[in-house]
Amino acid sequence: MLSQEWRYTMKKPTDFTRLMTSYLSSYLPLQRNVSQNTITSYCDTFRLLLTFLRDEKAMNIERLRIRDFSPGLIREYLSWLEHDRGCGISTRNQRLAALRSFFKYVSVEAPENMLLCQKIVNIPYAKKEQAAVCYLTTEEMAKLLRQPDQSSSIGRRDLCFLSLLYDTGARVSEILSLKVRDVHLSTPAKVILYGKGRKLREVPILPNTALHLQQYLTEHKLSAPEKLDRTLFVNWQGNPLTRAGATYILNKYVQMAELDTHVSPHILRHTKAMHLLEAGINIFYIKDLLGHEDISTTEVYAKASIETQRRALEKHSLVMSPATPSWVTNTDTLEWLKALGK
Tell whether the model's pLDDT for residue 100 goes beyond 90: yes
Q: What is the mean pLDDT of residues 180-195?
A: 91
Say whether pLDDT at 296 is over 70.
yes
In this prediction, residue 159 carries a pLDDT of 95
Statement: residue 301 has pLDDT above 90: no
pLDDT value of residue 305:
56
Instruction: Determine the pLDDT at residue 135.
Output: 87
With a cut of 60, say whether residue 340 has pLDDT above it: no
Which of 42, 77, 166, 301 does the annotation list as catalytic? Answer: 301
What is the predicted pLDDT for the residue at 320? 41
Whole-angstrom Cα distance, residue 2 to residue 203? Answer: 59
Answer yes or no: is pLDDT of 316 > 50.
Answer: no
Q: Provide the 8-state DSSP code for 24.
A: I
pLDDT value at 323 more than 80: no
DSSP single-letter state for residue 50: H
Share of the chain above pLDDT 70, in %: 84
- pLDDT tier at 332 (50, 70, 90 boundaries)? low
pLDDT at 312: 45
Task: Give, in order, the Cα–Cα distances in Å from 32 to each of 23, 36, 39, 59.
Answer: 10, 12, 11, 31
| Pairing label, strands 183-184, 190-194 | antiparallel
pLDDT at 190 over 70: yes
- Catalytic residue, candidates 269, 270, 272, 275: 269
Residue 329 has pLDDT above 80, yes or no: no
Average pLDDT over residues 180-186: 94
Of 164, 197, 166, the residue nearest 183 (C-alpha)? 164
Strands 200-204, 183-184: parallel, antiparallel or unpaired by DSSP?
A: unpaired
Q: What's the rounded Cα separation, in Å, for the pair 191 and 286? A: 16
More confident residue, 241 or 9: 241
Q: Is 266 a catalytic site residue?
A: yes
100 catalytic residue (yes or no): no
> Rounded mean pLDDT of 176-181?
95
Cα gap 162→136, rounded to integer Å: 14
Burial of 112 (0-12, 13-18, 19+ CB in 10 A): exposed
- Calpha distance 45→315 (Å, rounded): 46
Q: What is the mean pLDDT of the chain?
A: 84
The pLDDT assigned to 2 comes to 42
Summarised one tens digit per residue, pLDDT across range 39-67 is 999 999 999 999 999 999 999 999 999 99
- Any catalytic annotation for residue 292? yes
Please write the tens of the pLDDT for every residue from 205-228: 999 999 999 999 999 999 888 999
H helix and E strand count, the chain: 15, 3
pLDDT at 304: 60
Q: How many CB atoms lie within 10 A of CB 142?
A: 11
Among the options 252, 266, 303, 310, which is catalytic? 266
Going by C-alpha positions, the residue among 284, 274, 272, 266 that lies closest to residue 307 is 274
State yes or no: is 196 an active-site residue.
yes
What is the CB-side half-sphere exposure of residue 299 using CA atoms within 13 A? 5
More confident residue, 246 or 301: 246
Query: Within 13 Å, how many C-alpha atoms sit on residue 170's CB side?
Result: 28
Predicted pLDDT of residue 129: 60
pLDDT band at 11 (very low <50, low <70, confident <90, very high): low
Question: Residues near 102 by Cβ (< 8 Å), separated by ≥ 6?
Answer: 19, 20, 23, 42, 46
Q: What is the mean pLDDT of residues 91-116?
A: 95
Q: Say yes or no to pLDDT of 7 above 50.
A: no
- Position 130 scores a pLDDT of 58
Does 83 participate in catalysis according to the annotation?
no
Mean predicted confidence (pLDDT) in 78-92: 91
Of the residues 100, 157, 171, 287, only one is catalytic, namely 171
> Is the pLDDT higher at 83 or at 302?
83
Could you confirm whether 253 is annotated as catalytic? no
Instruction: Indicate the Cα dihedral angle 45, 49, 51, 52, nearest 10°.
Output: 140
Catalytic residue among 104, 184, 196, 227: 196
Tell me how far CA of residue 188 lies from CA of 38, 57, 159, 193, 226, in angstroms.
34, 60, 21, 16, 24
